[in-house]
Amino acid sequence: MLRRFFLRSAGVLTIAAVGGGIWRAWDQGVFDSGNGPAFEPWDDWRNTKDSPLTLVSAAILAASPHNTQPWLFQVSESSIDMYIDTSRNVGALDPYLREAHIGLGCALENLLRASAPNGYAASVTLPPAKLAPIPTEPNPQLVARVKLTKGARKRDELYEAIPQRRTNRSRYNPHLPLPADFLKAIAHVPDSSSVKLFLYTSEVDRQKIADLSLAAMQELYGDRQVQEDTKRWVRLRWNDVEKFRDGLTVDGFGLNDGEKTMAKMMPDNMLERVASQRETDDYSDLMMSSPLIGIIAVRDRYDREQCLVAGRTWQRLHLFATTKEVAARPCNEGVQIIDYERAAGKAASRLAMFKEITHDPAWQPTFIFCMGYSRLPASASPRRPVEWVQL
């Protein structure tokens, strides 16, 4: 849908490019994609060598929903406490902060992955809790406590992949299947009895998940509250990218270089229309371009510890895929709508549909992802620096 919109807009942009076009290109970061203060954490993540802050520098490069980066850290020489900043939420799309906690699990995986290469032995404690609706008072809440002692340095291939990991939202090559040894390897990535991985490569199974996800997307983004709550995390203007250093950007839409330049050159009102265009008609096809669709499931999707474990699993999967030059992205509408139905007091119809797909009612889906070989490279996302996320 975005590409069709670009084609319809090409004539307008040709006219708009005359006169003020060069200023617009400069102002919108056409020449600075992936550069500047908002992207420096990807390059200087090891500048605090031999310090616990190096572990935090790795943690902040983790995935998070809508790139909200909902983490805070309290750091000493012997420990790192990680908190959730509940104010950094996507509202009605994540009414129980389930996905926010999955993002925290991703950050925790990076932090722990960075410990041994930097000469630390790390042990983690996860205080038990159940997820609840978004609190009205956004106070930081402790979610993990990491104890640090000096240890032997050990090389870790996944640690080295941290600054190369990207969320690739472009279309993948459906005619290039993933190797059998890759599928076998990722099947063994989960290392907890509280998480299970379901992998689907057949067209029939993938189509079921894609169709469910498309219907969920249409319902979710047809809700005005969801639209408003997520809109505040879309950074369309370059000065907002540099100011906030978070959220979704034009560079992350999965467009080719020409389409990205075209989008950034658009007048503000037209760019906002592009951002509001959900890939509704094309979303199923986009997912089906992935030769692999996976589901991360847990026993209780509203148990906080299990959310963190699910996040650690996704981050580890994504890092491993990065080492094999395999592209990956979340496709979570199908599980987001389970929370949406629950918050609205509706019957859990989508959860029942997933049971028909997994054939294992003991496991509840909490994360959906796509993997494959992308035709386009992915851009880095903006990041808040370590000093912004310390308590």
Q: Which of 199, 193, 163 is nearest to 180 (CA)?
A: 199
- Span 160-187, average pLDDT: 96
Task: Tell me whether domains 2-31+169-372 and 38-163+380-388 share a fold.
Answer: yes
Across the chain, mean pLDDT equals: 90
pLDDT tens for 227-244 read 999 999 999 888 999 999
Q: Which of 173, 191, 196 is nearest to 326 (CA)?
A: 173
pLDDT tens for 358-378 read 999 999 999 999 999 998 999
pLDDT tens for 59-88 read 999 999 999 999 999 999 999 999 999 999
Residue type at position 376: L
End-to-end CA distance of the chain: 42
Q: Which residues, 6 or more positions from 248, have their beta carbon under 8 angstroms from its beta carbon?
A: 66, 67, 233, 234, 235, 381
Q: Which residue has the tokens 């290039």?
A: 176
What does 348-380 look like in DSSP terms, one character per residue? -HHHHHHHHHHS-TTSEEEEEEEEE-BSSPPPP
pLDDT at residue 51 tops 70: yes
SS3 233: coil
Q: Which residue has the tokens 């420990």?
A: 79
pLDDT tens for 186-203 read 999 988 899 999 999 999
Alpha helices by DSSP H, listed for the chain, are 2-16, 21-27, 52-59, 98-113, 157-160, 180-187, 203-220, 224-231, 238-244, 257-265, 268-276, 283-288, 304-323, 333-343, 349-358
Characterize the bridge pairing of strands 141-150 and 79-84.
antiparallel
Whole-structure pTM value: 0.93
Query: 38-163+380-388 architecture in CATH?
Result: 3-Layer(aba) Sandwich (3.40)
Q: How far is the C-alpha of 194 from the C-alpha of 310, rounded, in Å?
A: 9
Q: How far is the C-alpha of 247 from the C-alpha of 67, rounded, in Å?
A: 5
Do residues 131 and 302 lie in contact, with contact meaning Cβ atoms separated by under 8 Å? yes
At residue 96, the pLDDT reads 98
DSSP β-bridge partners for residue 205: none
Q: Which is more confident, 138 or 72? A: 72
Q: Which of 382, 385, 387 is nearest to 166 (CA)?
A: 382
Residue type at position 286: L
- For 2-31+169-372, CATH gives 3.40.109.10
Residue 29: which pLDDT band, with cuts at 50, 70 and 90? low
Residue 305 Cα to chain centre, angstroms: 19
At residue 275, the pLDDT reads 62
Do residues 114 and 83 lie in contact, with contact meaning Cβ atoms separated by under 8 Å? no
Residue 269: which pLDDT band, with cuts at 50, 70 and 90? confident
CA atoms within 13 A on the CB side of 23: 5
Beta strands per DSSP E along 126-174:
141-150
Q: Which residues, 6 or more positions from 167, have their beta carbon under 8 angstroms from its beta carbon?
A: 63, 252, 328, 329, 330, 378, 381
pLDDT at residue 222 tops 90: yes
Q: How far is the C-alpha of 268 from the C-alpha of 186, rounded, in Å?
A: 42
Residue 30 Cα to chain centre, angstroms: 24
C-alpha dihedral (254, 255, 257, 259), degrees to nearest 10: -160
pLDDT at residue 272 tops 90: no
Q: How far is the C-alpha of 76 from the C-alpha of 44, rounded, in Å?
A: 21
Q: Which residue has the tokens 């199974």?
A: 205
Q: How far is the C-alpha of 10 from the C-alpha of 323, rounded, in Å?
A: 38
Q: Which residue has the tokens 């894609």?
A: 210
Q: Where are the domains of the chain?
A: 2-31+169-372, 38-163+380-388
pLDDT tens for 300-339 read 999 999 999 999 999 999 999 999 999 999 999 999 999 9
pLDDT tens for 245-255 read 999 998 888 88
Do residues 149 and 111 lie in contact, with contact meaning Cβ atoms separated by under 8 Å? no
In this structure, is the dihedral angle defined by the CA atoms of residues 9, 93, 293 and 187, taken in order, positive or negative? positive
